[in-house]
Amino acid sequence: MYEGLSLVELKKKAKTYRIKQYYIMKKDDLIHLLNMKELPEKYKIEKLTIQQLREKAKEKGMKGFWNLSKQELLDILFPLHDQKKNNSETCEHQDPQNQDSD
């Protein structure tokens, strides 16, 4: 269905589906993702608005969540979703200006 579209057209389509980081995906990955009947759980979670996350927190009986950021709510409500982010943080590049010159 999407195989005949250019990369630019695929990225526009991904943007309409509010797929995060679509702009760095390869054409084949975008085609695969867009051809799925249903987006993987990861993409559904990322699409939730802060209002939807607050509603989920309320449904779970949580208290004191009104002042939390979207990322904080995601971390609390979906702790397994956060594992990938934590693993990637160990690979962050350090600013060369902040390192000692031995």
Annotated domain spans of the chain: 7-38, 48-81
**For the CA atoms of 33, 38, 41, 43, what is the dihedral angle to 10 degrees?**
50
| pLDDT tens digits for range 57-100 | 999 998 888 899 999 999 999 887 644 444 444 444 444 445 55
> pLDDT at position 6, please?
93
The rounded percent of the chain whose pLDDT value lies above 70 is 78
Please tell me whether the overall predicted TM-score, pTM, comes out greater than 0.85 for this model: no
The answer to whether residue 43 scores a pLDDT higher than 50 is yes
> pLDDT at position 54, please?
93
Alpha-helical runs (H) found in 7-81? 7-16, 27-35, 41-47, 50-59, 70-77
